[in-house]
Structure formats: C-alpha cells, structure tokens
C-alpha cells in the first residue's frame, strides 16, 4: 500500500484523485479547508487534514502533521482561476488571490512535503496547465491564471534540485469539466484523473522537472 497526499481535495480533480487512489487500495491523506469537505473525505475513507493553502500560518504546520512519514505520491492540486484578459489590468486583490493559492501555497508546501517524498523516492506533482506554456500561447484570455501556472512550473523546476531523490513534475490535466473548467470542457474529472494516475505510475527519474500532459506526452517547451 502506497501513501498518497492530495493537497486541495475538497472538490473537482483533487477529490477525484482521493476517490480513485482509495478505490485502488492506497492510503490517502487529503486536505481541505472546511468542515463539510473534511467530513466528505473522512466518509470516503481518506485521512482528512485541515489546510488552507492561501494562509501561510495554516501551511506552516504541514511538516509537523507529516512528521516521520514517507509519501509515495504527493500532489498539489489546489488552485483558483481568473477569467480576465490582457485588456483588463488585474486588481491587487485578484493578483493576490490567484498567486497566493497557485504559487505561494505550493512554494510553502514544497519544503515541508518534499523530504517525505524523498524518503520514499516518490513523486511530487503540481497541477499545472497547458495554458502555462510560454512557447505556445494562443490567446490572452485568463492571463493572470496563465502567469500563475508558468510561475508554478518555475517553482517546481527550481525546487527539484534541492530534492534529487524525488521525481518532481508539473502535470497538465487537460480541459476538465469542473467548477473551474466549466460545463463546455470535453473531459470528465474521472477520465482526466485516471489518465494522470497512469502517467504518474509510469514516471521515471528522467522525467524530473518536466511538464507532462495527462496522456503521458512530455511537453517539449515550457
């Protein structure tokens, strides 16, 4: 039995990761912010852990909660979206909301979680996006979201050098039918997560620091 940590499992892709790993017989530690989400995770069979990635004080206790454990797969799934395009300057409030959750939360979690992943010679993945790729920008929509995911990729690519025994990857789940992705998205959360789980299981140390699409394709550019 492997130990899986899902950071941001209250809904959508994070909740589906928890469901599928539990169904596969794995031990799952899953984080959420509110009582209702924590109870839902407990009922699924996960070990719920209260965590608000946008609150540095909350994230600071993560290492203590995981003390002495080895984590085979850790996934930073927490994220928020912003729809504004480059014709609209982002407000400070919007910038802080997106960057705190998508980037700062991950950067604060990495030093606390990666030693436990290294101990297991496991995988640490952040949920990125195909929209993060600077070499393949097709539009200016959601530009603050795009910037945050590009920054997240850089944070991961940098951190991997301090934790060489872990395989650190940025994962593109595709356009998924969730509260964030909307009803027009072609992929269900079930399909995206099933594909991502297969991709994660097939990773090798050569993938360290790469952006990888849900179907296993390795991105050739960031």
**Whole-number pLDDT of residue 178:** 75
Q: How far apart are CA 220 and CA 184, in angstroms?
A: 27
Number of domains in the chain: 1
In a domain, 16, yes or no: yes
d(CA 117, CA 103): 20
Separation of alpha carbons 39 and 49, rounded Å: 10
How far, in whole angstroms, is CA 29 from its chain's centroid?
14
114 assigned to some structural domain: yes
As averages over each run of 10 residues, the pLDDT of the chain (222 residues) reads 96 96 98 96 97 91 90 97 90 96 96 96 94 77 91 96 97 81 78 96 94 88 71
Whether 220 maps to a domain, the answer reads no
State how far the Cα of 142 lies from the Cα of 136, in Å rounded to an integer.
14
Residue 188 lies inside a defined structural domain of this protein: yes
Element (H, E) at 136: none
Write out the H or E segment, with its range, that includes residue 134.
Answer: none
pLDDT of residue 181: 67
Which domain does 172 fall in, by range?
3-213
Domain of 36, CATH number, reads 3.40.50.720
Position 105 in a domain: yes
Asked if residue 219 belongs to a domain, the reply is: no
Here the tokens at position 96 are 């802080």
Identify which of 44, 40, 12 has the alpha carbon closest to the alpha carbon of residue 28.
44
Number of CB atoms found within 10 A of residue 209's CB: 17
On whether residue 92 sits in a domain, the answer given is: yes
Collapsed DSSP state (helix, strand, coil) of residue 33: coil
DSSP string, 109-124: HHHHHHHHHHHHT-EE
Determine contact, residues 81/141, Cβ cutoff 8 Å.
Answer: no
On whether residue 124 sits in a domain, the answer given is yes
User: Within 10 A of 16 (CB to CB), how many other CB atoms are there?
Assistant: 25
What is the pTM for the complete model shown?
A: 0.94
């Amino acid at each position: 039995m492997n130990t899986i940590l899902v950071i941001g499992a209250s809904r959508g892709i994070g909740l589906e990761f928890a469901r599928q790993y539990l169904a596969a017989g794995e031990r799952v530690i899953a984080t959420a912010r509110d009582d209702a989400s924590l109870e839902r995770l407990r009922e699924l069979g996960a070990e719920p852990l209260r965590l608000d990635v946008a609150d540095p004080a909350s994230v600071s206790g993560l290492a203590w909660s995981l003390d002495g454990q080895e984590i085979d797969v850790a996934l930073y799934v927490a994220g928020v979206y912003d729809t504004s395009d480059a014709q609209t300057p982002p407000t400070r409030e919007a910038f802080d909301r997106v960057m705190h959750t998508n980037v700062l939360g991950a950067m604060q979690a990495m030093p606390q979680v990666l030693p436990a992943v290294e101990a297991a010679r496991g995988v640490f993945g952040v949920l990125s996006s195909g929209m993060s790729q600077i070499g393949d920008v097709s539009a200016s929509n959601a530009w603050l979201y795009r910037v945050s995911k590009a920054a997240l990729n850089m944070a991961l690519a940098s951190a991997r050098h301090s934790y060489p025994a872990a395989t650190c990857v940025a994962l593109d789940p595709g356009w998924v039918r969730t509260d964030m992705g909307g009803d027009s998205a072609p992929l269900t959360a079930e399909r995206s997560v099933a594909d991502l789980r297969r991709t994660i299981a097939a990773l090798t140390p050569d993938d360290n620091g790469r952006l990888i699409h849900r179907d296993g394709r390795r991105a050739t550019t960031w």
